[in-house]
Structure formats: structure tokens, C-alpha cells
Amino acid sequence: MQKRPFILIASASLVLAACTSKEPAERGRVSAPAIPVTTALVEPMQWVDTIEAVGTTKARESITLTAKISDTVRKINFQDGQHVDAGDVLVELTSGQQVAALAEAQATFKDAERLMSRNNDLVKQGTVSKQVADTARATHDSAQARVAVLRAQLADRVVTAPFSGVLGLRQVSVGALVTPGTVITTLDDIDTVKLDFSLAERYLAAVRTGLAIVVATAAYPDRSFEGTVMSVDSRVDALTRSFLVRAEMPNADHALRAGMLMTVKLLQPAREVLGIPEIAVEQVGTGAFVYRVQEGNKVSRTKVEIGARQQGKVEILAGLAAGDRIVIDGTVKLRDGSLISDATPKPAPSP
């Protein structure tokens, strides 16, 4: 019976000790300092989706100039890389024999024309028969055809530019014997450049003429080029399940050449989305979370559904609403329910 008071005293001491040890812990939690963070409001923004591809440039017009007949080069009228206009004479082949033959044919034609005219007058006077006049007319027509043939042969001995553009490297020299198909040079119209690129079949509904593109190339790492989709192929390749798109880009300074490899970003029409800085998203496995600021400067760890990403921004499909304030910097130290202090810089006052 004497042990019972001792037991009661010991129990009371333990309860008092537990209460005493609990109070500092509770006071420590209450007095935990606020964590400084940077916050931002969730607001609607204009979002432009992009489709990326790789393409190859082509000249708007391109041709390989070749000889049409077998003969020697008499004169070359261009330099490598020269800009020429349509109709400029580039190469002249030896043509002395053809020039003499044309002169002879033209003289024959003039005689036949005079004879035909005289016989027509005599027929009217009844001096010669109509048969003689018909023979003279046939001789005239034959001489005229001969002149046309020789002129065409002379034209084949002169190589001209079919359109305006920039010439490539010269492949022949004066005195060289050329034959039909011998390459003389190339001619490219690159004032405007075509760009062909392939896209996967799933993008077919998203691509149409008039869409803007932004293009880059390793040749000009600090420069981008802009263009417009001009046409979409009418067929999808059954093997690759892709289709061909053709765009055009202005190239007034001739910086781009045919055959260059380009990276293409096809810009979709802008749409309004909720977008936040990508650094505000905490990725845990397959889940994405942000810290939303609530009353009393406490944060709530909120699960969100994310969509597209671009240029440091991420699209929010679900989990947040316009007007919510979230933590964008300083999330590493946060836990659900943490107390924060907003260290977001204040905007400068308007002058």
C-alpha cells in the first residue's frame, strides 16, 4: 500500500515532463522563419505551336545550260557567278559557214520574191499562164523556208539566258569542241528560294498554304529567315507516311543558295492558353506539381497537367486558373503548407 503514492507521483512527473518537452517543439514550429521566394500570377497568354522539320533549298528557276550542236566555242561573254538578264548572249559557237549560207539564202529569197511579183502582174495582163505564177510562188515559199532554217541553225550556235539569274562556274573555254549535251554552266534564279521539307502524316490537317515559317541554317548561326508555305503535295508517301511541303523565302541579298540544309519551324495560328515559367514546375516521376500561394502566405503543393513547352514556358492544361499566384523561384526548400515571404521585385514606377 505504500508503493501506490510513489507510483502516482512518478506518473505525474512523466506527464509534466512530456508537456514541458512538447511546448518548445510547438513554439519552434510556430516561429519557423518564412522562406523567401519569387512569385507570379497565372495569366492567359498567346501561344504559337510549332512543327519542326528539316528541308533543302531550291532555286525558284534552275537550269543547266548545254550545247545543242557540235562545233567549237568562238566567244564567251560571261564570268563565273555573274548576274545576267533574260536574253543575254552567253556563248557563241563558230558560225562563219552558216552566216554565208544565210546570206546566200536571203539573196535567193529576194530574187524569188521579185519573180513572183512580176509573174503575178503578167497573169493579170494575160501574158503568162497561171501555172507559171504558181511555180514562181512555190519557189518563193521554198526560199523563205530555207532562210528560216538557216536562221534557226544560227540561233543554235548562240547560247542565251532563258531567264534572269546568277550563273555558276564556267565549264568550257574558247576553242573547245562542244557536242549536244556538253555542259556550259548553270543558271539559278535565287531572288526567291524554294524550300522543300517533309512532315509526318499526322500533321496533314495542321498544314495549309499561307502559314509562316522560320528557318535557320548552320551557315548563318546568328540569323534566321522567314517564309511562307506555298503548296502542299497532293499525295502521302505510302512507305514513309509523310508528305512534302513547299515554301518560299525572299532572298534579295542572295545569302541562300540551292541545295542548303535548313531547319524549319512551321508556325501555327496563335491560341490563348495558361502559360507559366517552366522552372516553376516540380517534376516527380510522371507527375507535375507547382506551389500555389494561399491565404496567410502559405503554399499548397498542387498537381497540374502540362501541355506543350517552348522557350522556357510550359502550357497548363489543368490544375490552375487565371489569377492564381504561384512560386516560380525558390521551390527547392518548400513543402506543402510552408510559410513564404514574397521577394518578387516591385515594378519600377512610371515616369
pLDDT tens readout for residues 73-84: 888 999 999 999
38-47, 169-178, 187-196, 239-248, range with the lowest pLDDT: 38-47
How do residues 31-76 score in pLDDT, each as one tens digit? 568 888 888 888 888 888 888 999 999 999 999 999 888 888 888 9
Q: Is 182 helix (H, G, I), strand (E, B) or coil?
A: coil
Cβ pair 244, 264 in contact under 8 A: no
DSSP 260-319: -EEEEEEEPPPEEEEEEEGGG-EEETTEEEEEEE-GGGBEEEEEEEEEEEETTEEEEEES
How many C-beta atoms lie closer than 10 Å to residue 310's C-beta? 14
* CATH class held by domain 32-45+273-342: mainly beta
pTM higher than the cut 0.75 = no
- Residue 107's Cα: distance from chain center in Å? 59
How do residues 125-153 score in pLDDT, each as one tens digit? 777 777 777 787 888 787 778 767 656 66
* pLDDT for 90 beyond 60: yes
Higher-pLDDT residue of 154, 248: 248
* H helix runs in the chain, sequence order: 3-30, 96-125, 130-156
Which pLDDT belongs to residue 163? 94
- Mean pLDDT value across residues 159-175: 92
Share of the chain above pLDDT 70, in %: 83
* pLDDT for 276 beyond 70: yes
The three cell numbers locating residue 212: 509562316
Which amino acid is residue 291, in one-letter code? Y
Which pLDDT belongs to residue 31? 52
Range(s) within the chain of domains with CATH label 2.40.30.170: 52-60+190-267
Q: Name residues whose C-beta falls within 8 Å of residue 286's C-beta, 6 or more positions apart in sequence.
A: none
The three cell numbers locating residue 139: 519557189
- Mean pLDDT value across residues 159-166: 92
Q: Report d(CA 306, CA 274) in Å as an integer.
A: 10
* pLDDT for 106 beyond 60: yes
pLDDT band at 99 (very low <50, low <70, confident <90, very high): low
Range(s) within the chain of domains with CATH label 1.10.287: 95-156
* CATH class held by domain 52-60+190-267: mainly beta
Average pLDDT, the chain: 82
The three cell numbers locating residue 51: 512543327
Which pLDDT belongs to residue 28? 45
Cβ pair 227, 248 in contact under 8 A: yes
Under CATH, what is the fold of the domain 95-156? Helix Hairpins (1.10.287)
How many C-beta atoms lie closer than 10 Å to residue 148's C-beta? 11
Q: Name residues whose C-beta falls within 8 Å of residue 47's C-beta, 6 or more positions apart in sequence.
A: 270, 271, 272, 273, 275, 308, 310, 315
- Which pairing describes strands 43-47 and 212-216: parallel, antiparallel, or unpaired? unpaired
* pLDDT for 98 beyond 70: no
Range(s) within the chain of domains with CATH label 2.40.420.20: 32-45+273-342
pLDDT band at 95 (very low <50, low <70, confident <90, very high): low
